[in-house]
């Protein structure tokens, strides 16, 4: 992604340490992003309302509202990608951030260069997902309907509020329905991460998002029908069928956005 492409994106950087805000604002501005900063949780929410950023870099430990509460508040109104910054080395604390809806995390001290790479990776995938068309425009699996092009999912007639990462994870699984996909493959395809072999702990990111995704799409997350665990490997979506058994593939032009389930099945 070059600087001309980056200029299309506003990044909100939230951290109570002025030195971190200044460094990230300078570096991200140099590569073409428009950067908005906030020093506490309340200012972050106000900045988000005013600027509608493409991505949020969010510190955890902040005055007024901490990063966890800001993340929760953002997830009530938006699926904007969120990268959490945390000084807490404990895995449980990082998992908490993911469970609240963060898409990624970095532990302080961190490399600004790596953060830039993760921002590029997420925004690239957002751009590709919204610009590319698919032969599987709308997929119907039982009561679950997935609109690939519009990045929306429905359970019956009810819209399922998925974050970008959650939808991308669902899309990857669905497009390879019936095939087991390892956690490392999911990390690379959904997050674009290329990790050294010693960083196996990061596969926990996949498990957390699978849990969140199941809670939203499954009737009984403890006994999933759609997203299955493959012991010793990873996960797979149930086998897709071409007939009227479980799955039907239809053009997205069949459904109107205000009544996505209005067409005959």
Identify whether residues 143 and 111 lie together within a single domain: no
- pLDDT of 240: 62
Alpha-carbon distance of 63 to 215, in angstroms, equals 31
Query: Does pLDDT of 129 surpass 60?
Result: no
Q: How many domains does the chain have?
A: 2
The answer to whether position 264 is within a domain reads no
Q: Please, what is the end-to-end C-alpha distance for the chain in angstroms? A: 41
Are 211 and 170 in contact, with CB atoms under 8 Å apart? Answer: no
Are 37 and 21 in contact, with CB atoms under 8 Å apart? Answer: yes
Q: What is the pLDDT of residues 208-227, one digit of tens each?
A: 899 999 999 998 999 998 99
Alpha-carbon distance of 126 to 62, in angstroms, equals 28
CATH code at 92? 3.40.50.2300
Q: What is the pLDDT of residues 66-84, one digit of tens each?
A: 999 999 899 888 888 999 9
Q: What is the pLDDT of residues 226-245, one digit of tens each?
A: 999 998 889 999 866 544 33
- pLDDT of 263: 32
Are 99 and 118 in contact, with CB atoms under 8 Å apart? Answer: no
Torsion of CA 8, 127, 151, 167, to 10 degrees: -110
The answer to whether position 260 is within a domain reads no
What is the value of pTM for the model shown? 0.64
The answer to whether position 259 is within a domain reads no
Identify whether residues 197 and 120 lie together within a single domain: no
Query: Does pLDDT of 249 surpass 70?
Result: no
CATH code at 201? 1.10.10.10
- pLDDT of 89: 65
Domain end marker among 95, 130, 165: 130
């Amino acid at each position: 992604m070059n600087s001309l492409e980056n200029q299309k994106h506003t990044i909100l950087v939230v951290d109570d340490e002025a030195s971190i805000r200044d460094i990230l604002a300078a570096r991200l501005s140099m590569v073409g992003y428009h950067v908005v900063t906030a020093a506490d949780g309340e200012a972050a929410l106000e900045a988000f309302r005013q600027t509608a950023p493409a991505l949020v870099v969010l510190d955890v430990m902040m005055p007024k509202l901490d990063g966890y509460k800001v993340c929760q508040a953002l997830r009530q109104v938006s699926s904007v990608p969120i990268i959490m910054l945390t000084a807490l080395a404990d895995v449980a604390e990082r998992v908490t951030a993911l469970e609240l809806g963060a898409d990624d995390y970095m532990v302080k001290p961190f490399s600004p260069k790596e953060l830039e790479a993760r921002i590029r990776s997420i925004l690239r995938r957002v751009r590709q997902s919204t610009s590319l068309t698919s032969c599987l425009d709308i997929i119907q699996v039982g009561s679950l309907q997935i609109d690939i092009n519009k990045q929306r999912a429905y359970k019956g007639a009810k819209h399922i509020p998925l974050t970008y990462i959650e939808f991308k994870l669902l899309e990857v699984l669905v497009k390879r329905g019936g095939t087991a996909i390892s956690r490392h493959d999911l990390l690379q395809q959904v997050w674009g991460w290329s990790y050294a072999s010693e960083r196996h702990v990061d596969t926990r990111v996949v498990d957390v998002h699978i849990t969140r995704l199941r809670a939203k799409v499954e009737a009984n997350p403890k006994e999933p029908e759609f997203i299955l665990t493959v012991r010793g490997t990873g996960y797979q979506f149930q086998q897709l069928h071409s007939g009227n058994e479980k799955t039907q593939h239809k053009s997205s032009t069949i459904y109107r956005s205000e009544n996505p389930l209005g067409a005959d099945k």
